[in-house]
Structure 1
Amino acid sequence: MDKSVATLAEAVAPIGDGATVMIGGFGGSGAPIELIHALIDKGPKNLTVINNNAGNGHVGIAAMIEQGLVSKIICSFPRSSDPIAFNEAFKAGTLELEVVPQGTLAERIRAAGAGIPAFYTATSFGTDLAEGKPVETFDGKSYVQERWLKADFALIKGEIGDTMGNMTYRMAARNFNPIMAMAADCTIAQVTRIAEPGAIPPEQVVTPGIFVDRMVEVAEPRQEEILIREGAVYP
């Protein structure tokens, strides 16, 4: 039952070419920067990445795009504060984009974790994002069918985890991480501290260990925004 691994490289070892990878975080909050950089070091190609945005600067997801790992990104905000990597890849035709409204993105991920294959939402009705999707009328209002969104792997970031995989999060860093953990076949987590079973009070557990497959301790995780202000480039 011990799900802890010793190194970041060992944590991301199962991720290979062509995988679909969910990556937690809302901007830099809750983004597993160290796991992302370990994945860049491993170098799998043709990845589909699911995240709230398409990265900033030259670290994290943006660095994945610059290094040619990503062939498709599914997100809500591809152009955020410093989207140079996304802009260049998209204009060059090397990166496919699927835009999903933020609430719909969260619900598609949550639905996959809950075993719900499809649901209806009024969001996007009458827009280009609804093109080709089934539409139904309920109580006189039109709704668009959206499918669940699953992944082969999820990379997430927590605060405290125990060796059985139970996790807590730090403040707003919770965001997409818990639902992504439920929607992936294999969830890989980095946490600031790994504790023994029982160290986390049961009522404080946010992500139960049943949803976590690998966990690595990163005692001093870096924040994306700070790295960008410092002019960091990875690798």
Structure 2
Amino acid sequence: MKKVYGSAAEALDGLLFDGMFIAAGGFGLCGIPELLIAAIKDAGTKDLTIASNNAGVDDFGLGVLLATRQVKKMISSYVGENAEFMRQYLSGELELEFNPQGTLAERMRAGGAGIPGFYTATGVGTVIAEGKEHHVFDGRTYILERGIVADLSIVKAWKADPSGNLVFRKTARNFNVPAATCGKVCVVEVEEIVPLGSLDPDTIHLPGIYVHRIIQGPHEKRIEQRTVRKKEAV
């Protein structure tokens, strides 16, 4: 089975359709599938529902899809760094389903593991619990959260071999691993594709069984919040 493709557009060919559900890896601007996001923008696919921790910033990451009005609904945890996200939500242009970060990660992991739902105490007594099934275990109330199964997963890894075995670099593992598992099809962009057999099995973070298509390409290294101290006088 061929998994390595020449470009993001080629890797997404035949997978995109209006109204689809996409699970996207990344946290802030760390480990985001920027090349695949750009290809989705260029394809013009619209009415998207996207599950992602956040939506990037106004001109990078998923923020570029918000700018072109291709996103109908976000399932997210944190939206504080994207002014356009906030504007669209407050004006009623964008649907938003808030999830605590751990709940969102577990919803993706559960979907990838074939688990349709799970109970959690997180969110009980808040708007998060509205409309959800409640159950008491050992005297404590829990709410039912459904596992996420997306039409497509887009993730960013550091290295891959041609079979799709993935290695993520440091904190870029974040949401990429659970997001990769919960898509019916998983497309991955990586910084380097290495020969088959060159990865130490103990260093592989995600086995290739989850990965369907791979691309390699250059990636921009952005800092979301640059904080520096003033130069001290000598």
The amino acid that maps onto 1:221 is H
Distance 1:167 1:207 in 2: 5
Cα distance per residue 1:110-155 (max 9 Å; x no partner): 1111111111111111111101111111111111111111101011
What fraction of aligned residue pairs are identical, expressed as a percent? Answer: 40
Other-structure match for 2:34: 33
The normalised TM-score by structure 2 is 0.92
Distance 1:224-1:51 versus aligned 2 partners, 3 A rule: farther
Write the letter of the residue equivalent to 1:40: K
User: Shift in Å at residue 224 of structure 1?
Assistant: 4.1
Name the TM-score, length of structure 1 as normaliser. Answer: 0.92
Q: Does the aligned pair in 2 maintain the 1:120–1:146 contact within 8 Å?
A: yes
| Corresponding residue for residue 184 of structure 1 | 183
Match in the other structure for 2:230 = none
Displacement after TM superposition at 1:17 (Å): 0.9
Q: Give the structure 2 partner of residue 221 of structure 1.
A: 219
Partner of 2:74: 73
Are 2:84 and 1:53 aligned? no
C-alpha distance in 1 between matches for 2:221 and 2:37: 12
- Separation of aligned partners in 2, 1:59 and 1:157: 15
The corresponding residue for 1:232 is: none
Write the deviation string for residues 13-61 of structure 1: whole angstroms up to 9, x where unpaired: 2222111111110111111111111111111000001110122121221
- The alpha-carbon deviation at position 204 of structure 1 amounts to 1.2
Q: Which runs of 5+ in 2 are unaligned?
A: 227-234
Q: By percentage of residues, which structure has more helix?
A: 1
Whole-Å separation in 2 of the counterparts to 1:30 and 1:18: 25
* CA distance in 2 between partners of 1:38 and 1:197 (Å): 27
Runs ≥4 in structure 1, deviation > 3 angstroms? none
The answer to whether the 8 A contact 1:23-1:51 is kept is yes
- Flag structure 1 segments of 5+ consecutive residues without an equivalent: 230-235
Q: CA RMSD in A?
A: 1.4
Q: Which residues in structure 2 correspond to 1:191-206 (within 5 Å)?
A: 191-206=190-205
Does the 8 Å CA contact 1:118/1:148 hold for their aligned counterparts?
Answer: yes
Query: Which residue is equivalent to 2:6?
Result: 6
- Alpha-carbon distance in 2 for matches of 1:16, 1:223: 30
8 Å contact from structure 2 (residues 58, 67) kept in 1: no
Aligned mates of 1:87, 1:202 — CA distance in 2:
43
C-alpha distance in structure 2 between counterparts of 1:180 and 1:203, whole Å: 21
2:208: which partner in 1? 209
Confirm whether residue 43 of structure 1 aligns to residue 41 of structure 2.
no
Q: 1:49-128 alignment to 2 at 5 Å?
A: 49-78=50-79, 80-81=80-81, 83-128=82-127
Output the CA distance in 2 between the equivalents of 1:198 and 1:149: 32
In structure 2, the residue matched to 1:170 is 169
State the alpha-carbon separation in 1 of the partners of residues 208 and 55 from structure 2: 29
Give the aligned partner of residue 154 of structure 1. 153
User: How far does residue 91 in structure 1 lie from its aligned partner after superposition?
Assistant: 2.8
Aligned to 1:139: 138
Corresponding pairs, count = 225
- Secondary structure of 1:225 counterpart: coil
CA contact (8 A) 1:22 1:155 kept: yes
* Structure number with larger C-alpha Rg: 2
